[in-house]
Amino acid sequence: MDPATRAVLRADPRLSRFEPLSRIIYCDDFDEGYNGWLGLIGNYEGSLDSMLPGYAQYLQPMLSPVTMWDTGSHGSHDGTYCLKTATRARKGSQNVSLKRVTFRHPGPIQFEGYFCFKPEASDLQLSELDVRAVGVLFDLQDGEAGSRRVMPHIRYLNALDGTPMLRWQYKQAKAPFAKIGTSGKTVSHYHLAPEGWEDVPDGGQKLCYNEVPTKINWHYLKIGFDLRAMRFTALQCNDRSFDVSKMSPMVIPAMANLWCMLNLAVFVETDVDKRAFLFLDSVCLSGDF
């Protein structure tokens, strides 16, 4: 990045918290609204009952000032509202929020965001092991000349069945496909199923988890990916950068009507019969083109 462009970014408080590539695709601050983010709806045909059960549990996100019973409204990283993704109050329940766009150049892209997570503060104790995992995934597909749908998944596994895990993971294992409806045009696969996650090399990391159930601290996360080579290029959380050279994304055959897809999603999963919350303050998606 040339010095003049860097100086402009540094002068803008909204952008200076990020380290974007040469072109910003979008920079969403949820103080301004949803910015096109919404809940994930599973594939269906003819009836919503045809949706796979894993997707039927998903709910829509909300704009939240992070209201807590004892402190009032916590607010976001530097404003009032953030995007709140909440699970149902059932162990293993997940929820996903995403933004759907397309790309115009198959080159490097980079996600950056500020996030935090907590379980619902229904108990007067820390409950630091109640959230199972939070994560980010891309849903990508080559242009018409290509033949791949590529889904890079990254998650922070916080706890599993009450045991602290505190590590980053990725997923390349594919879930089986199921036909939806009778037209032959619709299929689905539950790619966030619990099976198939692998540890990021040297991916252990302790995140700040404050002393009571209603205190939160924001974390910085960066994930880099190359749309041409379809490989990871970076993973950083706070002060830690991880080696992604041996990590591979999930790859499945290309699907009709999804050419140049560049979807970005965040997700959260609970480890107990209590709602888990993922709060996303802001997101910057950038690319080199």
Residue 234: CATH number of its domain? 2.60.120.260
- Report pLDDT for 179: 84
Q: Structural domain of residue 35, as residue ranges?
A: 23-287
**Each residue of 56-84: b (16+ CB within 10 Å) or e?**
ebbbebebbbbebeeeeebbbbeeebbbb
Q: What is the pLDDT of residues 101-142, one digit of tens each?
A: 999 999 999 999 999 999 999 988 999 999 999 999 999 999
Asked if residue 88 belongs to a domain, the reply is yes
- 236: its two tokens: 């950083």
Residue 173 Cα distances to 26, 38, 196, 251, 268, angstroms: 30, 26, 5, 8, 19
Asked if residue 261 belongs to a domain, the reply is yes
Asked if residue 11 belongs to a domain, the reply is no
Asked if residue 38 belongs to a domain, the reply is yes
Residue 57 Cα distances to 27, 42, 92, 189, 248, angstroms: 29, 10, 11, 15, 28
Sign of the alpha-carbon dihedral angle for 164, 218, 278, 205: negative
Asked if residue 1 belongs to a domain, the reply is no
**Averaged pLDDT for residues 244-268:** 94
- Report pLDDT for 153: 98
pLDDT at 75 over 80: yes
Q: Confidence band (pLDDT; 50, 70, 90) for 261?
A: very high
Asked if residue 15 belongs to a domain, the reply is no
- Report pLDDT for 236: 98
Q: What is the pLDDT of residues 24-38, one digit of tens each?
A: 999 999 999 999 999
Contacts of 94 (CB under 8 A, 6+ apart): 54, 57, 58, 87, 192, 267, 268, 269
- Report pLDDT for 146: 67
Asked if residue 278 belongs to a domain, the reply is yes
Asked if residue 64 belongs to a domain, the reply is yes
What total number of domains does the chain contain?
1
- The angle subtended at Cα 79 by Cα 109 and Cα 267, nearest 5°, is 45
The dihedrals phi and psi of 11, each to the nearest 5 degrees, come to -80, -15
Q: What is the pLDDT of residues 225-236, one digit of tens each?
A: 999 999 999 999
Are residues 227 and 289 in contact, defined by beta-carbon separation less than 8 angstroms?
Answer: no
**What percentage of residues in the chain have a pLDDT greater than 70?**
99
Q: Confidence band (pLDDT; 50, 70, 90) for 185?
A: confident
